[in-house]
Amino acid sequence: MEYSSLYDMISLLQYGTRLHIGVLFLGEHGNDMLRMPHRQQIHAGAVCEELKKSDGGFRRCFRCRNMAINKAITTKEAFGGYCINGVYEYTHPVVIDGEVVCIIYIGNILENECGYGKIRERLVDKEHLLSTMEKDYDYNKCEAAGKLIESYIRMLLQSNNENKSDKLNNVIENIKSYVDMNLEFDTNISHIAQMFHYNAKYLGRLFKKETKMTFADYVSLQRLERAKQLLKGNKSSVLTVSEKVGFNNVTYFNRLFKRTYGMTPSEYRTLGK
């Protein structure tokens, strides 16, 4: 896939550092014009990936990230702080006409004074991963980088003459991207509508019109597709796989999987060997 010049810019800013810079687009903004790989839309880095391996670790990270998203949308102001695991992260909302169009994240930063002890405690016997983090990158540096990225995003948005059809497509693509990043958790149209500044009923109708399926059906299908990947790629039990893709009832997961693919998850795993 070909990515946007925004991705090129972020890659240059990260070059020679251990920073991780990501951008999450909301509402009708972004996408084709500002397309970036999945890794640049989430919090990532060797330490984050290690700490998210366990179910509890991933859920802690998810809750913490959503708190940052909600704070950015509510306050519309940049802020820095430590995630629940002790990683320093800077959050920078881009506001246009009173609306948060995207959120810039600058993270994977190790601050020795406050976060170091907590990260060491979480990593247990994998402290060598601390060497993969950027050290002493303070708020002022983050703010300067955030403002530079914001100015570039504004320029790209202003240079693009989108019609109504393009904007509606952007909304749907942003929603799909958010869902795909959060399959493990309960996601409903009301939560999405609040985040994307739309009426829930209207957004549900729009989603069905554009995708030819309901929002709930889309989430279920994406969960099943992710389950297929996990069944092929690791030795976790069917119960564990079902939980990792957001199904709380393994019996329902088995039934839905068989109805969709004509075989049970266990049969599918055996077939793939």
Q: Strand 88-96 to strand 20-25: parallel, antiparallel, or no bridges (unpaired)?
A: unpaired
Strand partners, 135: 110
- Measured between its terminal Cα atoms, the distance across the chain in Å is 29
Handedness of CA 40, 1, 14, 77 (dihedral sign): negative
The reply to whether 52 falls in a domain is yes
pLDDT bracket for residue 214 (50, 70, 90): very high
135 and 258 inside one domain: no
pLDDT in tens, 217-258: 999 999 999 999 889 877 788 998 998 888 889 999 999 999
pLDDT bracket for residue 65 (50, 70, 90): confident
Domain that holds residue 17: 5-162
Q: How many domains does the chain have?
A: 2
Cα 179 to Cα 202: distance, rounded to the nearest angstrom: 18
117 and 232 inside one domain: no
99 and 129 inside one domain: yes
pLDDT in tens, 122-181: 888 888 898 999 988 999 999 999 999 999 999 888 876 555 556 667 788 888 888 887
125 and 215 inside one domain: no
CA distances to 59, 89, 107, 129, 227 from 93, rounded to whole Å, are 23, 13, 14, 29, 33
186 and 100 inside one domain: no
State the DSSP H helix or E strand holding residue 189, giving kind and residue range, or none if neither. Answer: helix 189-196
266 and 206 inside one domain: yes
Q: Which amino acid is at 248?
A: N
Name the burial class of residue 84, with classes exposed (0-12), middle (13-18) and buried (19+) by CB atoms within 10 angstroms of its CB: middle
